Amino acid sequence: MTISRPTAHVLSGGAVKKPGLRRTKIVATLGPASSTYEMIRALAVGGVNMFRLNFSHGTHEDHAARHNIVRDVEAELKRPLAILADLQGPKLRVGTFAEGRVKLEKGAKFRLDLDRAPGDTQRVCLPHPEIIEAARPESHLLLDDGKMRLRVLSGDKSHLLTEVEVGGFLSDRKGVNVPDVTLPIPALTEKDRRDLDFALELGVDYIALSFVQRPEDVLEAKEIAKGQAWIMTKLEKPQAVARLSEIIAVSDAVMVARGDLGVELPAEEVPIEQKRAIAEARFQGKPVVVATQMLESMISVPTPTRAEVTDVSNAVYDGADAVMLSAESASGQYPLEAVSVMARVTRRIEQDREWSPQDEAFRPDSDGTVNGAIAEAAWQVAESISAAVIVAYTASGLGALRISRERPECPILALTPNDDVARRLNAVWGVYAMSVGQEMPVLNVEAVVDQAVELAVSEGYVKKGDKLVLMMGLPFGTMGATNTLRVVTV
């Protein structure tokens, strides 16, 4: 299948912005509210660039059906759509209670142990010996998404004795977070491994890895994927934040997952870490998605709050590659409206006169590589001659990632022989990817120039008299070898 873009979302004429253009991409989670062909197609037409399959919910059959619909929609629209498989990760939960729930009183002592018997106001089972062994006096345990907080007083290999610092009602199988302890547990559970194998078999484009604590967690997933999908690391643990640069370095992409991150970190720290993660990901040339509760109120009402609109806007101002909808599109009552709001907000911020100078001020320093220098030169040349488009020939996608890092004013048209690469690039800021299949010339520079001009004209990026900047690698077919820059007048 050869995938191309529709001409409805393009630029022409010396980087003049058309109303339909968006540089910041949109991710939408699929679920009960968005599983039909009609709805998925409407979401794609409305502006979704990547669809998320949440493996914390649903069956393999559910995810396969949604995956197949996305691919059918993609074929109809003739443009790439990325698919993200989001793994559940290790879910830590308490056991059950004899009465279904108990009230934990502030100041009371509460025991967590390995006894499977139903709990009461004095104790409950914590079926995770790794937590019990790793916790130390003064460590904290957060229950039910941080609604309650326990402080460890003492313990051994069989139990922890805690004091309730923040009380509340605790019911069966509520989640446990341990923010100040590095737990000796893998990021991939047995369920995750089964889900990962299934997602790779489906042919998804990205795998989101949950509850990463160390770079080795990412490397383990990459070893399993073997390049069949890009690994997107979710930043939701303080331990990951503490090793941010190392973890981003071994990841293919990053998600700032503010739900669990906001449980394990003080709320006032989350905006700071979000900005730091976006800046570091951009410096390293890795796509970064901002996620969780962006338009939360639109689960049940058709309009967002002003605070939510500001939240989405700030992610755009900070330079995120993509913003994500979770329950808003998966189970909410207004999935189309939520996508429409996100598309309008991102587009409007990008049209703001203050946005471009601010984005330029955040442009990262050179990374000291040949590929990076070529991309930086392409941006500078495009800016100085008011190029209508930058065309990047890329077999691996890395050339397009490099130029996206520079955040050029004009659009980036990525031409690749690989459908999978075109789909992955659909989640990258400012990149509009086309899979040209075997049509990509591999021997003749002039043939490359002719094809680039032909496609840029046919897709509406340029007209006669416009200039385009062409990036490519010589010799052709060498992965990650972007080393040539050319300026062409149409």
Within a 10 A sphere around the Cβ of 201, how many other Cβ atoms? 11
Which residue in the list 41, 93, 344, 486 is annotated as catalytic? Answer: 93
Least trusted range by pLDDT, from 129-133, 273-277, 364-368: 364-368
Q: What is the edge-to-edge ordering of all strands in the sheet holding 159-166?
A: 123-125, 109-113, 159-166, 148-155, 140-143, 176-177
pLDDT of 357 reads: 55
Residue range 370-489, CATH number: 3.40.1380.20
93 is known as an active-site residue? yes
Q: In the chain, where are the structural domains located?
A: 22-90+186-361, 101-177, 370-489
Angle at 85 between CA 428 and CA 144, to 5 degrees: 110
The distance from CA 161 to its chain's CA centroid, rounded to whole angstroms, is 39
Query: Does the active-site annotation cover 66?
Result: no
Sign of CA dihedral 119, 124, 128, 133: negative
Catalytic residue among 5, 23, 234, 282: 234
Per-residue pLDDT at 367? 72
Residue 361, pLDDT score: 62
441 near 434, Cβ under 8 Å? Answer: no
Long-range (24+ apart) CB contacts under 8 A made by 364-372 are 364/279, 364/282, 364/283, 364/405, 365/283, 367/283, 367/284, 367/285, 370/483, 371/398, 371/399, 371/402, 371/480, 371/481, 371/482, 371/483, 372/285, 372/402, 372/405
End-to-end, the C-alpha distance of the chain in Å comes to: 29
Closest among 137, 113, 139, 111 to 127, alpha carbons compared: 113
pLDDT confidence of residue 368: 73
Architecture of domain 22-90+186-361 in CATH? Alpha-Beta Barrel (3.20)
Contacts for 191 with CB less than 8 Å, ≥ 6 apart: 88
Q: How many CB atoms lie within 10 A of CB 178?
A: 21
Q: One of 22, 23, 52, 222 is an active-site residue; which one?
A: 52
Residue 375, pLDDT > 50, answer yes
pLDDT by residue (tens digit) across 131-174? 999 999 999 999 998 999 999 999 999 999 999 999 999 999 99
Span 101-177 CATH architecture: Beta Barrel (2.40)
Q: What is the pLDDT of residues 303-347, one digit of tens each?
A: 999 999 999 999 999 999 999 999 999 999 999 999 999 999 999
Which member of 24, 162, 233, 292 is catalytic? Answer: 292
- Let me know: does 222 contact 209? Beta carbons within 8 Å: no
Residue (of 36, 45, 37) closest to 81 by Cα position: 45
Mean pLDDT of 345-362: 77
Catalytic, 52? Answer: yes
C-alpha 209/C-alpha 217 separation (Å) is: 9
**Residue 234 falls in the annotated catalytic set:** yes
What pLDDT, on the 0 to 100 scale, is given for residue 17?
37
**Structure-model confidence comparison of residues 76 and 452, the more confident one:** 76
